[in-house]
Amino acid sequence: MIRMSESAGSTQAREALQSAARESDALAVERTLAGERDAFRVLVERHSQQLFRLAYRMTGNEHDAEEVVQEAFLRAYRNLGQFGSRANFGTWAYRIAANYAIDRMRQKRTEDARRSTPSSLAEEQDPLDLVADDRPTPDRLAGNSELRKKMEEALKELSSSERTAFVMRHWEGCAIEEIAAVLKSTTSAAKNTVFRSVQKLRRALEPYVGARGALQAKAAGAAPEPRGTEL
């Protein structure tokens, strides 16, 4: 998987580990293709955790995430011949999982829309009630179960493409090219989707998370300057 830059030392160490894993992945793939079904077990055991993390962040639900992981490996096994040992199995399986998670999210959305329950995010609540602490740190905020609920809801409000883009970029550190491949879009469209997702999350959560500065400014009658104006 293509990742964003890190410190040189840790990058080198990680690359060495990844390269070793890739080699042994390639071997496991070849053996599986040669008819050794058990060789696939190595790949499942090695990549399950990573796929679960991605699937959980995308679906926001443990049960769905587990299903995504299992289905991703089943699909990978059925289509192993298409993969070819030159590529990175982890990246390939990751992409399958992301694609399946998108399908699942869309399916759920359709089902939810049929039931048509109004979003609880729409329910007005005073942001100050949520930010009880004078100086809310992210840790404290996440510990606040109400805020956590708001964050989960805000993520749910994203479209499946936006959520995928956000998860892959922000949490998984994937390159824009990789996100574009999963979304089947251009890199500039993928970049735009990442931005849109952050923008939506910001609009939904800033009253609760970044509230202090804005509210204080409002109280003092000094609204922040509009963006894009000349100094």
Partner 1 sequence: MKHLTEEELVGYREGEITQREAIAEHLTSCTACRTELERIEAVLSALDNLPVPERGPEYGRAVWQKIAPQLPEKAGRGWRAWLEPRRWVAIGAMVAVVIGAFVAGRWTKKPDAGTPAASVAQVKERVLVVAVGEHLGKSEMVLMELANATLPVSGPKQINISAEQKRAEDLLDANRLYRETAQQDGDAALASVLDDLERVLMDVAHSPEEITPAKLESLQKRIEAHGILFKVRVVGKELQEKQKTTNSAPAATDSKVRERNKA
Binding positions for partner 1, rule: CB under 8 A: 4-5, 32-33, 35, 37, 40-41, 44-49, 52-53, 56-57, 62, 69-70, 73-74, 77-83, 138-139, 141-142, 147-148, 151-152, 155, 169-171, 173, 176, 191, 194-195, 198-199, 201-202, 205-206, 209-210, 213-214, 224-225, 227-231
Nearest distance, CB of residue 63 and partner 1, angstroms: 11
CA distances from 41 to 28, 54, 77 (A): 9, 20, 10
Closest alpha carbon to 100 in 119, 79, 117: 79
Report yes or no: 141 and 147 within 8 Å, Cβ to Cβ.
Answer: yes
List CB contacts of 85: < 8 A, sequence separation 6 or more.
26, 29, 30
Q: Which is nearer to partner 1, 23 or 177 (CB)?
A: 177
Q: Which is nearer to partner 1, 118 or 226 (CB)?
A: 226
Q: Cα separation of 157 and 113, whole Å?
A: 12
Nearest distance, CB of residue 114 and partner 1, angstroms: 28
Q: Which is nearer to partner 1, 129 or 139 (CB)?
A: 139
How many CA within 13 A on the CB side of residue 148?
7
CA distances from 29 to 34, 119, 179 (A): 9, 45, 24
Nearest distance, CB of residue 195 and partner 1, angstroms: 5
Nearest distance, CB of residue 211 and partner 1, angstroms: 9
Nearest distance, CB of residue 92 and partner 1, angstroms: 12
Q: Which is nearer to partner 1, 147 or 181 (CB)?
A: 147
Place of tokens 């805020």: 147
Nearest distance, CB of residue 141 and partner 1, angstroms: 5
Q: How many CB atoms lie within 10 A of CB 82?
A: 8
In this structure, what token pair is assigned to residue 46?
A: 């090695």
Q: Which is nearer to partner 1, 151 or 183 (CB)?
A: 151
Q: Which is nearer to partner 1, 113 or 223 (CB)?
A: 223
In this structure, what token pair is assigned to residue 14?
A: 């990680």
